[in-house]
Structure 1
């Protein structure tokens, strides 16, 4: 199998790392691979903050829900939606860009751009023999994270990525079946077929957890999702985004 494809298909979230920092060359390579990702209309609407300072890492770990691997890793990357430089472009070119910068469309562009760049970064890290874990918990306390990282208006930390040398070897977690994700020509709306697929996936996930925990867990995927989505979180987000100059129109 092509080694790049094999690396992608073997992706697992790594949450325990050796006490070894990444080299400057590794960091640069990961960031340059992130920059090689596609970007909408060449807008490049993201920035990456690398966190080395241990006190900062410790605080980010606390703000992310006390996740220890935010504090203990080879390097911590924070991917940000960033239209700050584009606001500066408006000043440089004497153009009023505010309506565009405040649009929902441009907010979506920042999130897509940052996500594409981040996935390139993870694939690059894993191709180098490193492990990685996305950290969405940064959004639990976004005002505090913004203050800690000193980000200006029109910049929002979206998520972090902890990267380092793996100190664990977890099993692959089964994804949804191919025919549940991929449709041809039109969206599959057969309710009975969808429910049947979900039940089959529940059995697969339950077996995965049972084997992984020696019978202590038999979670279903639908049960997990129902439990999680019945408890709304981060409901401050719309107001926060608008306050940072995003998603106003």
Structure 2
């Protein structure tokens, strides 16, 4: 077992896994420790974890997560859900008023799902396992919820693949600490400060993209000449795709009981 500092220092996103299974005893230990040791609003623990090991079920998750090969390689996939269904049923059983089927409830539960996911990640990494977070969970939120049989006011927030690493990727760089940490109040960076903060990232990130023939060809074809342009290009985080996905997420929240059928501003319009 590693220390927390060593575990954080050794973190890498792993996308190639060996076929070795993760023992059930290890899974139980990690999840129990994470649940016991993660902060929760009101100790209501508004999350649920769906553990997937069956190859056939992983095949469907692979499809829903954009056909990323490591989903099939990893012996274990865990989906972290914002979940008020369990609590709301308990409230009903005890004759208490219903609550949490609203946007604030979603925010609290989504935050807690991310908190527990990080605790679980640290638990596996401290034992030598590798993980990869899947942002595609949000893109396919509704479909994943249907596939996993999630009830009302229960939605997937993030997913991790877990297994024995079969690669040793380089550590990804971060911006200098001063980019993230503000003393007392937010310090807006000037253009000169932004240039200084992002200079090393722009150079190393662009070199990494240019070292990959497929990405280099895409950039040349699309007239992309910088890392910043790549990040908002059709090949990565396309603003139009983000807007469409944002609308899908809103509709999913409405359909799953976290938002009213109509937004408040529309209700007041004549």
TM-score where L is the length of structure 2: 0.83
Q: Secondary structure at the match of 1:232?
A: helix
What is aligned with 1:232?
241
Paired residue for 1:148? Answer: 147
- 1:1-249 alignment runs, 5 A limit: 3-35=3-35, 36-97=37-98, 100-196=99-195, 197-209=197-209, 213=212, 217=216, 220-227=226-233, 228-233=237-242, 234=245, 235-248=247-260
Structure 1 distance, partners of 2:168, 2:143, is 33
Shift of 1:221: 4.2
Aligned residues: 245
User: Aligned to 1:157, what secondary structure does the other structure show?
Assistant: strand
Q: Secondary structure at the match of 2:140?
A: helix
Give the superposed CA RMSD: 2.3
Contact 2:103 2:258 in 1 (8 A): yes
What are structure 1's unaligned runs of at least 5 residues? Answer: none
Q: Which moved more, 1:239-248 or 1:113-122?
A: 239-248
Shift in Å at residue 6 of structure 1? 1.7
Q: Structure 1 residues 22 and 95 mapped into 2: Cα distance closer, same or farther (>3 Å)?
A: same
CA distance in 2 between partners of 1:171 and 1:190 (Å) = 29
**What stretches of structure 2 of length at least 5 have no aligned partner?**
220-224, 265-270
- The 8 Å contact of residues 34 and 119 in structure 2, kept in 1 or not, is answered as yes
**In the aligned structure 1, how far is the partner of 2:192 from the partner of 2:180?**
13
Q: Which residue of 1 aligns with 2:267?
A: none
Per-residue CA shift, 1:101-146, capped at 9, x if unaligned? Answer: 1232221111111111100111111110000001121333333322
Q: 1:9 to 1:231 in 2, by over 3 A?
A: farther
Contact 2:131-2:160 within 8 A present in 1 as well? yes
